[in-house]
Amino acid sequence: MLIDERGEVFDGDDVMALLGRKLAAEGRLHGNAVVGTVMSNFGLELALRDAGVRLIRTEVGDPAVAREMRLNSYNLGGEQSGHVIFMDHSTTGDGLISALLVLAHLADRGGRSANFARCAACRRCSKMCASKAASR
């Protein structure tokens, strides 16, 4: 989870959307896929699909995500809760690695965390889910 200077919260799906698209554009996303869980926001799937990246879903839990990643040599996966695994750097989720990779991406793009806008598809799906829940 990350919070920008305006107080907006970015979850694991936002991080995976941002860095999955970045790695794919650089040709560094193994298998051209990101591993998420059945709890991952549908917006993540749409954002990745727009970049030509597949979302592989597993059961909930980082052990299931890590197992799928190891079995198929994927290098990015995680959970909406913010537990993100970067197999190029570690075999388990690490918030410090996530933060450093996002900060490096921001530095490449001009610095401010305001430049880390949530992916539009994730935001749209989050709003739809919130409005459905409120109407119940």
> 48-92 pLDDT, tens per residue?
998 899 999 999 988 999 999 999 999 999 998 888 888 787 677
* pLDDT score, position 74: 96
pTM: 0.78
- Amino acid 80 reads Q
Number of domains in the chain: 1
CATH number at residue 103: 3.40.120.10
> Domain of 39?
2-135
- Give the C-alpha separation, 131 to 136, whole Å: 9
The answer on pLDDT for 18 being more than 60 is yes
N- to C-terminal Cα separation, the chain: 28
